[in-house]
Amino acid sequence: MSSHETDKKLPSLFDKCYEYKYADDVKAAGIYPYFRPIEESEGPVVRMEGKPIIMAGSNNYLGLTAHPKVKEATVNALKTYGTSCSGSRYLTGTIPLHEELEAKLAKFVGKEAALLFSTGYQTSQGVIQPLVKRSDTIFSDKDNHASIQAGNFIAKGSTGTNVIRYKHCSMEDLERKLASLPLEAGKFIVTDGVFSTFGNIAELEAITKLAKKYNAKTLVDDAHAFGVLGEGGRGTASEFGVTDNTDLIMCTFSKTLASLGGFVAGDERVINYLKHHSPALIFSASPTPSSVAAAIAALDIVTQEPERVQRLVSNAEFVRKGLKDAGFNVIDGRTAIVPVLIGDNKKAFGLWKGLFDAGIFVNVFIPPATPPNKSMMRNSFMATHEPEHLEKVVECYTKIGKKLGII
């Protein structure tokens, strides 16, 4: 008997855990799509439940996690530095690879300096909070990624700073909100470059113009834009030609850069300030030697082979067009993310199961990750998908979509 059952005289903090049954019900119906182990992953075709599956839901956008040079670099770093840095950058956790990667990233995105964090999620927490104080205001797009929302929340909780969320991509709403404060008040506009669920692109040119007009600083999270948009995959600021006007660019390594970690890039003095004031940096162990080595090798490949970016974008476009022509409700875009609106949870799970049985893995997003009754399939593509993989995705979607009455 669990301790929960023996203590049952009073209501308990954990009652909700014992009462939560939704995931069990979906599992019992055989259509639970989450936490599925991937047994081997050597390319766009992975192995799950012992069979080959076309991966159409990964963030491994340029397919570099399986690249021989990336793998070799991780092994070499492991041999030289061991498995962990066992400390934060501030104290005993800095190795030359951290500094090499920071210099290369800063150069790649067109900024003076960069600073690494141990995950992308942690990066927004490590950047936002140290830069704001009680009298400042953060302006955050309503659809920003959960890591930014968490970063805002930590800033608000620790400094009392004001957080104002503006309507998704509404420049009118953002301007109205910026204009409501005195010009000299501290303002920080924070936005995803590419929004992670629907793959749409922030209006960064307009945002940087508003920032200038209303005396605000800007931070863009380029998790889904790095390696996808801009010159050679340099991201959203490069796409709009506003790199100099975008104060800070942050990003994760877990997508294009084939690793685990994150970074922020900006003016050297701002990066130097963060190095000495960011709790998420100072009180957390630095990225492992192998993670950093993988990101360096991946970045070198992105820099030397920009054609991979073009291949990624055209692969996604092939499926976007194919699904639209078949009659699916596809959200338009030009990134690696191809969202298909389904609506009903059960139909979405049914489509997921049909695709999985046919040898294709995609992601299913249901409320609260989406608005109510707006379940969707979040497909994402890789530069390394071959035409036959993409054709099979469109063909299976069409067949199963017709069977389930979705199209």
User: For residue 365, what are the β-bridge partners?
Assistant: 376
Query: Is 255 among the catalytic positions?
Result: yes
User: Beta strands 360-361 and 337-343: pairing type?
Assistant: unpaired
Residue 44 binds ligand PMP, judged by CB under 6 A? no
Query: Is 224 among the catalytic positions?
Result: yes
| Cα-to-chain-centroid distance, residue 407 | 30
The crossing angle, in degrees rounded to 10, of helices 307-326 and 387-403 is 20
Residue 235 binds ligand PMP, judged by CB under 6 A? no
Residue 89 binds ligand PMP, judged by CB under 6 A? no
Q: In whole angstroms, give the CA distance from residue 382 to residue 361.
A: 13
Residue 121 binds ligand PMP, judged by CB under 6 A? yes
**Are the C-beta atoms of residues 281 and 126 closer than 8 Å to each other?**
yes
Q: In whole angstroms, give the CA distance from residue 214 to residue 180.
A: 10
Q: In whole angstroms, give the CA distance from residue 288 to residue 7.
A: 42
The crossing angle, in degrees rounded to 10, of helices 171-179 and 204-213 is 10
Largest CA distance in the chain: 65
Q: In whole angstroms, give the CA distance from residue 376 to residue 197.
A: 9
Residue 223 binds ligand PMP, judged by CB under 6 A? yes
Q: Which of 196, 246, 286, 363 binds ligand PMP (CB under 6 A)?
A: 196
In the shown chain, the binding pattern of residues 239 to 278 toward ligand PMP, with x for contact by CB under 6 A and - for none, equals: -------------x-x-------x----------------
Query: Is 133 among the catalytic positions?
Result: no
Number of residues that bind ligand PMP (CB under 6 A): 13
Residue 141 binds ligand PMP, judged by CB under 6 A? no
Residue number with CB closer to ligand PMP (31 or 248): 248
Residue number with CB closer to ligand PMP (250 or 342): 250
Q: How far is the CB of 255 from ligand PMP (least distance, A)?
A: 7
Give 223-243 as a DSSP string.
Answer: TTTTTTSSGGG--HHHHHT-T
Residue number with CB closer to ligand PMP (265 or 400): 265
In the shown chain, the binding pattern of residues 144 to 163 toward ligand PMP, with x for contact by CB under 6 A and - for none, equals: -x-x----------------
Q: Is the dihedral of CA 238, 239, 245, 246 positive or negative?
A: negative
350's tokens = 């049914």
Residue 333 binds ligand PMP, judged by CB under 6 A? no
Residue number with CB closer to ligand PMP (121 or 365): 121
Residue number with CB closer to ligand PMP (214 or 381): 381
Residue number with CB closer to ligand PMP (203 or 221): 221
Identified catalytic residue from 111, 145, 224, 353:
224
**What is the number of other CB atoms lying within 10 angstroms of the CB of residue 380?**
25
Stretch that binds ligand PMP, among 114-122, 275-283, 368-376, 391-399 (CB under 6 A): 114-122
User: For residue 55, what are the β-bridge partners?
Assistant: 361
**Residues marked as catalytic:** 196, 224, 255
Binding interface with ligand PMP (CB under 6 A): 119-121, 145, 147, 192, 196, 221, 223-224, 252, 254, 262
